[in-house]
Amino acid sequence: MSTFQHLHLEIPKCDKPRVVIIGGGFAGIQVAKSLRHEPYQIVLLDRHNYHTFQPLLYQVATAGLEPDSIAGALRQLFENHKDFYFRMARVTGIDLEDKKIKTLVGELGYDMLIIANGSKTNYFGDKKMYDRTFPMKQVPQALDLRSHMLQNFEQTVMSREPEEKDRLTNFVIVGGGPTGVEVAGALGELKKHVLPKDYPDINFDIMKLHLVDGGPRLLAGMSEKSSAKAMQYLQEFGVDVRMNTRLADYDGRDVTLTDGTVIPTKTVIWAAGVTGNIIDGLPKETVERGRILVDEFNQLIGYDDVYAIGDIAMMKTDEMPNGFPMVAPVAMQQAENLGKNLKRKLRGKSYVGFRYKDKGSMATIGRNRAVVDLPKFHFGGFFAWLVWMFVHLMSIVGFRNRLVVLSNWIWGYMTYDRGTRLIIRTFLRNNKYKPGDTL
């Protein structure tokens, strides 16, 4: 920690109440924006200096987009906001009694605290999987996967042992939620349209995509019709989908599934689920299954000035006895509702309870194919794919990002090309060969 010894988390005091927001994800930026013109001092903390548009992260991992398309610098997002402070800092603890948070660069008091630090990859405590598989939650992780995947193909060309070639070209995706399904679709696209042009000496029949999920159907959060369609699309791509199946073991070389199958592979993508980023210092009774228990106002039970929103919040209602799904629309709507309530508070009005408006959900599986669930209507195919593109494009924060993504998509669609097939992060886990100048 010697780097940080000179640093201090000091924010100038002013006469407005200080709202500290932990996390610059969908929930955090939404609540900060909605309080923009209110008499609050806003302090936003994040360990990264950018917001990540996670729904498209898998396209960074599969060489479709560069990080600048899907990530936006947080400072830029809040340029010209008055009484707004961003600090790049990792929050390590919360002191609810003294009303302050702890970070690697010091402590900071708050008048109101909004915990919006989202979720992290859930390894269910399995250290082996944490060490040996690729998560898909952050930009650097997506870049690692991209470089690793492309290095595998470079090595396949130079391998003459069939089993080793299999190990390099087999991909096992753990988890059949939207991330798993979309990664599988994108890898299917690469296999079908992109990689064979790059590697004429590889017979791409050997590239096998496996998707395993412990549950009975894909996209468990969506309709049965969409699950079935997603299954059909993946199978058309030649993806070996195994439901009710989990990883029994993975030694970094061979995966053993619970059905006994052994798959030689260097690449296991871990999209099995997420769990809340619980911070030290919260009373035991406020945490349930990795999330923070809140009431219908997203207020921490028993604490007046502490709120949790988004993935980290566990709000139980009659319709949602296990809490709301950990997805972006819930996060944004909870943030909007909290913003509204904090405005009402200033005006002496009472809080309004959160009502989730489910606008539907969707997933895409390669070019021209997607599944869309609207509240009363489910559809798939080409039109669903257009809807998927439009909604994602419109949801990306920032006009520039939108332009970059759109132009990349048009280019990719027309040319069957992926612009970012660059191995820029030598993956050091199994690899002692490091590029760089020598003396």
How many angstroms separate the Cα of 14 from the Cα of each of 19, 83, 111, 115, 189? 12, 9, 12, 22, 54
Q: Among residue numbers 74 through 93, which ones bind its own copies (CB under 8 A)?
A: 75-76, 79, 85, 87-90
Give strand pairing partners of 267. 171
Site for its own copies in 196-225 (CB under 8 A): 197-199, 201
How many residues sit close enough to its own copies to count as binding (CB under 8 A)? 81
Site string for its own copies, 14-53 (x = CB under 8 A): ---------------------------------xxxx---
Quick check: helix, strand or coil at residue 152? helix
Nearer to its own copies, 4 or 413 (CB): 4
Minimum separation from the CB atom of position 245 to its own copies (A): 23
CB closer to its own copies, 92 vs 244: 92
Residues 298-337 interacting with its own copies (rule: CB under 8 A): none
Q: Cα separation of 312 and 114, whole Å?
A: 11
Site for its own copies in 362-401 (CB under 8 A): 400
Q: How many CA atoms lie within 13 A of 340 on its CB side?
A: 14
Cβ 383 vs Cβ 371: under 8 Å: no
Our CB check for its own copies shows the closer of 386 and 424 to be: 424
Site for its own copies in 113-142 (CB under 8 A): 120-121, 123, 125-127, 130, 135, 137-141
CA dihedral 238, 241, 246, 249 (to 10 degrees): -10
The answer to whether 310 touches 276, Cβ cutoff 8 Å, is no
Q: Is 192 among the residues that bind its own copies (CB under 8 A)?
A: no
Binding mask 145-164 for its own copies (x = CB under 8 A): -----xx--xx-xxxxx--x
Min separation Cβ 138 and its own copies, Å: 7
CB of 76 or CB of 368, closer to its own copies: 76
The mark string for 417-436 relative to its own copies (x by CB under 8 A, - otherwise) is x-xxxxxxxx---xxxx-xx
Q: Outline where 174-325 has alpha helix (H).
A: 178-189, 195-198, 224-236
Q: Does 350 help bind its own copies (rule: CB under 8 A)?
A: no
Q: With beta carbons less than 8 A apart as the criterion, state whether 170 and 207 touch.
A: yes
Please name the residues in contact with 113: beta carbons below 8 A apart, sequence gap of 6 or more: 19, 20, 22, 94, 99, 101, 305, 306, 307
248/197 Cα distance (integer angstroms): 36
φ/ψ bin of 228: left (φ > 0), alpha (ψ from -120 to 50), beta (otherwise): alpha
